[in-house]
A = this chain, B = another copy of it.
């Protein structure tokens, strides 16, 4: 059986309260008593029971994180960054992966709330905004990550996706490409915003948006690389081919490149392709992939700071929004010989 406060107290003939005070660094304990207690804790290898502490204090020193898929490199990196930052503030990250299922996500959110997390970070795969509102309505502070919720005015930390779409497209425009396609996704704010940025960039150059050059994949329906492959095939079967493509994600781009090459197109000479997310392995792909870097580590830093801040503030402050600026990383798929 592990040592309890009671054991220390008994051994030293002091009260449990006094021991508890030392444990929590209260100053109203004599230096001598404190020393004896600290020594005894050491000797008996005392470790506080966080469950009991949580129940008594109402705070668990815990932050929950729900991601759509922990095996997605972006969310894995985000989780790592968050965990590292929270650890420095004595907080522990509780991680749940929703496996791309809104139902599982709902379940995991409830679960974490029932476990008494002090704050909840959610990168939602929900298509229906309503289901998140029940969580946001609770008294536990919540931060939406990466994907914003259209109507809601919740706390949010994520990439400036409109800017991502714009910068990616402008990069392609700078390569003198004129028929620029977009292989996108649907349902999420990230998908909508990147599409928006893409259109903005084209409009800014006076290029009409050709609806035949915009495809949306249902990312729930299969492996993204294969979806990208099929999307590119459809683009190439059309009479007027694109000479560049901005893909919603790197994995879509990887599949798109594969398709382009199988159909005899050279990348980037015939078709320049850029993705988004900046996969760590981008530089080693069959065609090193240009991409939008989302500053994932920075994102995690902001998110954990915001979470801790919300926990600290007594009153429910007005929702804050933090947008991280993405940047273009150029590799061979849009022209650089090697990265």
Give residues in A with beta carbon < 8 Å to B: 1-2, 47-52, 54-55, 60, 62, 69-71, 73, 76-77, 79-80, 83-84, 87, 92-97, 99, 104, 107, 110-111, 113-116, 138-139, 225, 254, 257-258, 279, 281, 284-286, 288
Contacts and interface: CB of A to CB of B under 8 A. Distances in A.
B71 A76 contact: yes
A12 to B, nearest CB: 22
B47 A51 contact: no
B73 A92 contact: no
B83 A92 contact: no
A21 B240 CA distance: 69
A116 B285 contact: no
B71 A84 contact: no
B80 A47 contact: no
A138 B116 CA distance: 25
B96 A51 contact: no
Contacts of A69: 80
> Which of A1, A113, A286, A288 gathers the greatest number of chain B CB atoms within 10 Å?
A286
Nearest to A77: B71
Contact of A97 (B48, B79, B96): B79
What is the copy number of this chain in the assembly?
Answer: 2
> Which of A110, A257, A258, A281 gathers the greatest number of chain B CB atoms within 10 Å?
A281
A23 to B, nearest CB: 13
User: Which 6 residue pairs across A and B have the least CB separation, nearest first?
Assistant: A95-B95, A71-B76, A50-B114, A51-B116, A76-B76, A51-B54
A151 to B, nearest CB: 23
A50 B115 contact: yes
B47 A225 contact: no
A49 B51 CA distance: 11
Contacts of A279: 281
A111 B99 contact: no
Nearest to A83: B97
A62 to B, nearest CB: 8
A99 to B, nearest CB: 6
Contacts of A1: 139
B93 A96 contact: yes
Given A116-B50, A281-B254, A80 B84 contact: no
